[in-house]
Amino acid sequence: MKQDRQNCTPTDELAARQDQLESAFLRGTIGRRRFIATSLALGFLSASRVKSVAQTLEEIKTNQASQVRSLAGNYDYVVCGAGSAACALVGKLAADGSKSVLLIEAGGWDDAPSVLDPRLWFTNLGTERDWGDASEPSADVNNQRVVIHTGKLLGGGSSINATIWARPFKSDFDYWAEVTQDRRWSYESALSTFRRIENWQGVPSERYRGRGGPVWCQTAHDPSPLALAMLDACRALGLPINSSLNGVREETGEGFALTEQIIRDGQRQNMAKSYLYPVLAQANVTLLTNAHVDRIALDKGIATGVEFTHEGQRRTVAADREVILCGGAFSTPQLLMLSGIGDQDYLKSVGIEPAVHLPEVGMNLQDHILHGSCLWDAPQQMEHQNSGAEVLGYLKSDPTLDRPDISLVQVELPYASGAIAKAFGPTPKSLALCAGLMVPKSRGRVLLKTSNPKDRPVIEANYLSHPDDLAALERSIALCRQIGNSEAMKPFAVREIAPGKELKGEELANFARDGVTTYSHPSGTCRMGADPGAVVDAELRVNGVGKLRIADSSIMPRIPACATMATCVFIGERLAELLERAG
């Protein structure tokens, strides 16, 4: 969809052009002289800053090209996958220059214009920057294959998502601390880490917010009138309104607010920019893109390195200290199983020789449902502001719950599932209020399609397989309709397209099933815990395997009731701390 740039300030335009210049320079499509001359002509940066940026990017480009040409046979740490957690981990781990790190990423760099411009995030979905996975058809979602978008590029999901920075609820972290029997995973411990992580641009809070950290986050800048109208609608309906999406909400458990985003000067500030770029000019960090990790090399139950494919060649690299998996909730369990780590009977059934019996590898899959169905026509096509999703709210459908189970997000686009779009035919000027299910009781699993590492895994997501999930989603849909049809929204929502009327019984259930899409927050498939069945322990070590750890969404024992990017960054930071303590 073509984007309207009328609301961009001159500063936003210059920032966008400057970022594109930096990306072109990094890719090698323009030289240093042209970069400096064009940057000075733009006038966005001072002359001294232009030369500093040019020098930094030149060092990154030169260093990484040299490092890749002469890959070593061994590194202290080999990190597989360059998503949000991996960026935080490698950035922290490599900062002092004393440890050698090889970071292997299956996708490419994060320099496409559609990555840099947060308003274009959805145009990355279904491209080479997306793994393109989908769940197996299920009667619980009317036999649809639900597409699940995960990032296949530097920065992972932080490079293609809707830029929302949302931190978990207190009960989320305290549950993790309980199941791991380790208070370092508790909310109070996590809060101190988030204060260090953030470079918060809003009202200061000594307890909740940090300033000066690597992660830039700000409240949606110059929000659309639609976003402000939705907040007015929520207020009129007596729904709780928070001054900030994070902070107090984490402890009180509910509330609506403008989204907080990783957008700086109109550009996406992903986790690669936040953590990796500052260390990529160092001699101790090697980034290998477009390389596919095929298996973990094991020797008597100890991870010694990894086998990978790059430019058509199979290679093996050794890890002197540890191998760390950061592939996410699908690729990480797949890689473990391909390496003989998983349920031994299942591995034998797919022709893989078992090495370590860990029956829960690939089990416990959880995800958030984003319902694409509640649609209204606006008087004219919405001007797409920020990432197009500027208001988010969390609510408990039952006051006895320890955290919200439903959410609502405003979308300035005709966001709809395939089944809903076909049935109701939204127009380009349609807008959506998306119901969300944040505390799923349904559980899925990840299986191998074949023993070939190039084949994507089989994903049995089992969305809405638990009846409580369907009931909670129906309540969330009802709330969307109540807000969308309110007085405050009438200037923007002039006609309800879908569902168009109150639905009940099986008609409502089918509408809920037809509208199922996902927030693309798959989690839990290598869960952390203190019990014998856990895949990793509280220090993220894979049980039964030496020198192997995991840092990504797969380790979450229970999915947080919010977007998972910030939590993944926290996990990466936590593992960096653990490794630093281990020496």
Q: Where are the domains of the chain?
A: 21-68
Token output for 92: 């922290």
SS3 labels along 404-453: CCEEEEEECCCCCCHHHHHHHCCCCCEEEEEEEECCCCCCEEEECCCCCC
Question: Alpha-carbon distance 375 to 415, whole Å?
Answer: 8
Round to whole Å and give the CA distance between 482 and 430: 17
The pair of three-digit structure tokens given for residue 279, joined into one six-digit string: 């260390």
Predicted pLDDT at 2? 32
Q: Sign of torsion, CA 24 26 27 33?
A: positive
Distance CA 234, CA 219 (A): 18
Q: Is residue 338 within 8 Å of residue 307, measured between CB atoms?
A: no
Q: What is the pLDDT of residue 321?
A: 98
Q: What is the pLDDT of residue 27?
A: 64
Give me the helices (H) in 378-428, please.
418-424
pLDDT at 57: 75
CB 223 within 8 A of CB 185: no
Report the percentage of the chain scoring pLDDT > 90. 84
Please give the structure tokens belonging to residue 178.
């309980």
| Residues 527, 450: Cα–Cα separation, whole Å | 23
Mention every residue, 6+ apart, whose C-beta is less than 8 A from residue 56: 277, 281
Rounded CA-CA distance 196/210 in Å is: 6
C-alpha radius of gyration, the chain, whole number: 23
**Cβ atoms 208, 248 nearer than 8 A:** yes
Residue 306 and residue 119: Cα distance in Å, rounded? 37
Closest CA to 337 of 349, 325, 354: 354
Q: How confident is the model at residue 43, as a pLDDT? A: 81
Q: What is the pLDDT of residue 17?
A: 78
What whole-number distance in Å separates Cα of residue 465 and Cα of residue 475? 17
Q: How far apart are CA 247 and CA 168, in angstroms?
A: 10
Of 69, 45, 73, the C-alpha closest to 57 is 45
Residue 393, SS3 per DSSP? strand
How many angstroms separate the CA atoms of 573 and 583, rounded?
Answer: 16
Residues of the chain with pLDDT under 50: 1-8
Task: Please identify every residue annotated as catalytic.
Answer: 521
Look at residue 463 and give its three-state secondary structure: coil
Where helices occur in 218-327 by DSSP H, the ranges are 225-236, 248-252, 271
| C-alpha closest to that of 407 among 482, 480, 322 | 480
- Residue list for the binding site for substrate: 519
Query: What are the tokens at 433?
Result: 């209020």
Residues annotated within the binding site are 293, 519
The H or E element containing residue 369 is strand 369-371
Give me 526's structure tokens. Answer: 């290598």
How far is residue 565's CA from residue 559's CA, in Å, rounded to a whole number?
Answer: 12
Sign of CA dihedral 382, 121, 513, 443: negative
How far, in whole angstroms, is CA 247 from its chain's centroid? 20
DSSP per residue over 480-523, as a string? HHHHHTSGGGTTT--EEEES-S---HHHHHHHHHHTEEE----B
CA 144 to chain centroid, in Å, comes to 23
Asked if residues 158 and 83 have their Cβ atoms less than 8 Å apart, the reply is yes
**Predicted TM-score of the model (pTM):** 0.93
pLDDT in tens, 205-227: 999 999 999 999 999 999 999 99
Strand runs (DSSP E) across 243-357, as ranges? Answer: 255-258, 260-261, 263-264, 267-268, 285-288, 291-299, 302-310, 313-325, 341-342, 356-357
Tell me the average pLDDT of the chain. 93
CA distance 179 to 39: 52
Q: Give the list of residues 6+ apart from residue 221 with CB closer than 8 angstroms, or none.
A: 263, 386
Residue type, 71: L
Question: From start to end of 81-158, where are the E strands?
Answer: 101-104, 133-134, 147-148
